[in-house]
Amino acid sequence: MPVNIYDVAKKAGLSVVTVSRVLNNSSTVRDYNRQKVLKAMEELDYKPNAAARSLAKGDTGMIGLILPTIDDPFMSQVLFAVERAAREKGMFLVTAFAPGCEEPGYANPVSLFRENRVDGILILSPVKNEEYILELKKNGFPFVLLDQHHSAVQAPSVTVDNFYGGYQATARLIAAGFKRIAHISGSDIYESSAQRLEGYKQALRDHGLEIAEELIASGNFTIAGGYEALAGWIERGQLPEAVFAADDNTAFGVIDAARKFRISIPAELSVIGYDDHPFGSMLHPALSTVRQPTPELGKQGVELLLNVLSGKVKRAVTITLKPEVVLRDTTPAK
Amino acid sequence: MPVNIYDVAKKAGLSVVTVSRVLNNSSTVRDYNRQKVLKAMEELDYKPNAAARSLAKGDTGMIGLILPTIDDPFMSQVLFAVERAAREKGMFLVTAFAPGCEEPGYANPVSLFRENRVDGILILSPVKNEEYILELKKNGFPFVLLDQHHSAVQAPSVTVDNFYGGYQATARLIAAGFKRIAHISGSDIYESSAQRLEGYKQALRDHGLEIAEELIASGNFTIAGGYEALAGWIERGQLPEAVFAADDNTAFGVIDAARKFRISIPAELSVIGYDDHPFGSMLHPALSTVRQPTPELGKQGVELLLNVLSGKVKRAVTITLKPEVVLRDTTPAK
DNA sequence: CTGAAAGCGCTTACAG
DNA sequence: CTGAAAGCGCTTACAG
Reported as a single tens digit per residue, the pLDDT across A285-326 is: 999 999 999 999 999 999 999 999 988 888 889 999 999 999
Return the CATH architecture of domain B162-291: 3-Layer(aba) Sandwich (3.40)
- pLDDT band (50, 70, 90) for residue B108: low
The SS3 assignment for B195 reads helix
B18 CA → D4 C1’, Å: 33
Beta-carbon contacts of residue B79 (< 8 Å; ≥ 6 apart): A70, A95, B65, B67, B70, B95, B124, B298
- Judge whether residue B12 contacts strand C, using its CB and a 7 Å cut-off: no
Strands A289-291 and A324-326, sheet pairing: antiparallel
Out of B62, B79, B282, closest to residue A70 by CB: B79
* Alpha carbon distance A268, A9 (integer Å): 77
Query: What is the pLDDT averaged over residues B9-34?
Result: 90
| Contact flag A55-B60 (C-beta cutoff 8 Å) | no
Out of A75, A95, A282, closest to residue B95 by CB: A95
- pLDDT for A61 beyond 50: yes
Out of B51, B278, B279, closest to residue A116 by CB: B51
CA distance A60 to chain B (A): 8
Question: Which residue did the predictor score with more confidence, B313 or A84?
Answer: A84
Beta-carbon contacts of residue B304 (< 8 Å; ≥ 6 apart): B144, B156, B157, B158, B313, B317, B319
Which ranges constitute the DSSP H helices of B214-293?
A: 223-235, 248-260
Query: What is the pLDDT averaged over residues B16-45?
Result: 90
The pLDDT, as a whole number, for residue B20 is 94
Q: Are B28 and B17 in contact (CB under 8 A)?
A: no
Kindly tell me the number of DSSP H helices and DSSP E strands found in chain B.
Answer: 12, 12
- Judge whether residue A44 contacts strand C, using its CB and a 7 Å cut-off: no
Put simply, whether the predicted model's pTM sits higher than 0.85 gets the answer yes
Beta bridge partners of B272: B244, B288
The pLDDT, as a whole number, for residue A105 is 46
Farthest CA pair distance, chain A: 87
- For C11, nearest residue by CA–C1' is A56
CA-CA-CA-CA torsion sign (A251, A256, A262, A266)? positive
- Judge whether residue A29 contacts strand D, using its CB and a 7 Å cut-off: yes
Beta bridge partners of A66: A96, A123
CA distances from B6 to A111, A113, B14, B295 (A): 20, 21, 9, 42
The pLDDT, as a whole number, for residue B102 is 46
Q: What are phi and psi of A272, to 5 degrees?
A: -130, 130
* Alpha carbon distance A156, A159 (integer Å): 10
Domain ranges (residues) in chain A: 5-48, 62-161+295-322, 162-291
Domains B5-48 and B162-291 share a fold: no
Superfamily of domain A62-161+295-322: Response regulator (3.40.50.2300)
Residues of chain B contacting A54 with CB distance shorter than 8 Å: 50-51, 54
Q: Is A108 exposed, middle or buried (0-12, 13-18, 19+ CB in 10 A)?
A: middle
The pLDDT, as a whole number, for residue B104 is 45
- Which nt sits closest to A31, CA to C1'? D1
| Contact flag B117-A282 (C-beta cutoff 8 Å) | no
Q: Are A213 and A197 in contact (CB under 8 A)?
A: no
Best probe of the B interface among A46, A54, A119, by most B CBs < 10 A, is A54
Nearest partner of B125 among B187, B61, B217, B63, judged by Cα: B187
- Which nt sits closest to A58, CA to C1'? D8
Query: What is the pLDDT averaged over residues A136-141?
Result: 84
- pLDDT for B67 beyond 50: yes
CA distances from B8 to B19, B43, B163, B299 (A): 7, 9, 58, 37
Superfamily of domain A5-48: lambda repressor-like DNA-binding domains (1.10.260.40)
- For D8, nearest residue by CA–C1' is A56
The pLDDT, as a whole number, for residue B156 is 93
Reported as a single tens digit per residue, the pLDDT across A84-99 is: 999 989 899 999 998 7
Beta bridge partners of B69: none
Query: What is the pLDDT averaged over residues A88-114?
Result: 73
Out of B92, B253, B282, closest to residue A223 by CB: B282
Out of A71, A76, A80, closest to residue B278 by CB: A71
- Judge whether residue A33 contacts strand D, using its CB and a 7 Å cut-off: yes
Q: What percent of chain B has pLDDT over 70?
A: 93
Beta-carbon contacts of residue A113 (< 8 Å; ≥ 6 apart): A64, A121, A136, A139, A141, A143
The pLDDT, as a whole number, for residue A108 is 65
Residues of chain A contacting B49 with CB distance shorter than 8 Å: 55, 115-116
The pLDDT, as a whole number, for residue B78 is 97
Q: What percent of chain A has pLDDT over 70?
A: 93
- Judge whether residue B54 contacts strand D, using its CB and a 7 Å cut-off: no
- pLDDT for A138 beyond 90: no
B50 CA → D10 C1’, Å: 9
Beta-carbon contacts of residue B28 (< 8 Å; ≥ 6 apart): B21
- Which nt sits closest to B21, CA to C1'? D11
Q: Tell me if the bond preceding A285 is cis, omega within 30° of 0.
A: yes
- Judge whether residue B18 contacts strand D, using its CB and a 7 Å cut-off: no
Q: Which residues of A240-255 are buried (b: 16+ CB within 10 A; e: fewer)?
A: bbbbbbbbbbbbbbbb
Strands B242-245 and B120-124, sheet pairing: unpaired
- pLDDT for B317 beyond 70: yes
Query: What is the pLDDT averaged over residues B209-236?
Result: 96
- Judge whether residue B57 contacts strand C, using its CB and a 7 Å cut-off: no
The rounded mean pLDDT for chain B is: 91
- Judge whether residue A20 contacts strand C, using its CB and a 7 Å cut-off: yes
The rounded mean pLDDT for chain A is: 91
Q: Are B25 and B56 in contact (CB under 8 A)?
A: no
Query: What is the pLDDT averaged over residues A161-170?
Result: 97
How many CB atoms within 10 Å of residue B333? 8
SS3 for A167-199, per residue? HHHHHHHHHCCCCCEEEEECCCCCHHHHHHHHH
Query: What is the pLDDT averaged over residues B66-94?
Result: 93
- pLDDT for A27 beyond 80: no
Reported as a single tens digit per residue, the pLDDT across B143-183 is: 999 997 666 678 899 999 999 999 999 999 999 999 999 99
- pLDDT for A103 beyond 60: no
The pLDDT, as a whole number, for residue A111 is 67
Strands A242-245 and A216-218, sheet pairing: unpaired
Q: Is B259 exposed, middle or buried (0-12, 13-18, 19+ CB in 10 A)?
A: middle
